[in-house]
Amino acid sequence: MTVHGGRGRQDGGRTRPEGSAEPLSGAYDTALLDLDGVVYAGGLAVPYAVESLGAARDGGMRLAYVTNNALRTPEAVAEHLTELGVPAEAWDVVTSAQAVARLIADEVPAGSRVLLVGGEGLAVALRERGLVPVESADDDPVAVVQGYGGPELPWKRFAEAAYAVGRGVPWYASNTDLTIPGARGIGPGNGAAVEVVRIATGGRFAPKVAGKPLPPMHRETVLRTGAERPLVVGDRLDTDIEGAFNGGVDSLLVLTGVTDVPQLLAAAPQHRPTYVAADLRGLLTGQPEVVADGDGGFVCGAWRASVGGGALAVEQVAAGDADPMDGVRALCGAAWTAAEAGAGALDGEKALARLGL
């Protein structure tokens, strides 16, 4: 297993996860939670999600659900969460459909026709902004918008989008996540659908994108939640964590979705989370500090991580219960610091095996 780390920033990129003496649910007033891969996967609750979110809410933390998935309406998402045991109202949910609808409405006249390639969530969001969804390139749309429409979305809808985009109609996308986690594994996301239209039009066009990690989604989230001390919680480095980085807020990566430990260790500066946890139980605890030991190593809890001979190494340096996640945090310190110094690929196979990962 190789960790492919490119040359890191030399202007102060994060070189280790941060520590927190108090539970994260007390240190931040609002959790901005991604849904797919964080709260549920394939419609089923992720292990420990329901009880962890309940405890965080009971402790006074506001929970807001921020998703790049544009398929369902906020009402439908809230209903699903409530059925899973996570009580929520529509106003607790912020979707990329809402963000892209606002983006389009800011740039076209009210009442404009918009060619919709997506599901009900995107259609409702467009109507809320005074726009009229249509399904054909021959309906004289002033814009084309794509959002995740689920596996049943007819192929002809992509053809209609390609016809309109090819004619020069402005093109928008709720998000460009290439994949989406489900109960049976990782499937193609809206980004894959966007690529279909891009390829069909000869690669000559690119959509304006609203979803994470881009500013329109952060803007929509701030406007709707009013969070003052937000913590972004997600499973994807290139959307959730980068979105937090772009918005200048702290983030918690949970390892219940798309991102695995090798990807975390190889993260570029804009993809490095403030905190790391195995799952949403990480909201309810503090985070142990990762400390440089002066000999080129990094210590977290009972583990010490270092780099030598092009490989990552980890060893237990304290007796008793040794949490593997502390080892992961220590390895982040070693790997990210090495990347900042210009290191290339690091072999992490033995280190992760040592942690049982």
Question: DSSP class of residue 75?
Answer: H
Paired sense of beta strands 62-67 and 143-146, if any: unpaired
Residues 6+ apart with CB under 8 A from 234: 33, 34, 37, 38, 212, 240, 241, 243, 244, 251, 252, 253, 254, 257
Give me the catalytic one of 29, 36, 138, 295. Answer: 36
Is 295 considered catalytic here?
no
CA nearest neighbour of 66 among 202, 228, 175: 175
Q: How far apart are CA 46 and CA 58, in angstroms?
A: 19
The answer to whether the CB of 220 falls within 8 A of the CB of 243 is: no
* Residue of 11, 29, 34, 238 marked catalytic: 34
Nearest to 98 by CA among 223, 227, 278, 282: 223
Is 34 in the active site? yes
**Directed axis angle between helix 96-105 and helix 120-128, to 10°?**
40
* CB of 251 closer than 8 Å to CB of 245: yes
285 HSE (CA, 13 A, CB side): 13
- Residue 337 has what DSSP assignment? H
Helix, strand, or coil here: 242?
helix
Would you call the peptide bond into 216 cis, given omega within 30 degrees of 0 as the criterion? no
- Dihedral angle, C-alpha 65, 70, 76, 80, nearest 10 °: -60
Q: Which residues are catalytic?
A: 34, 36
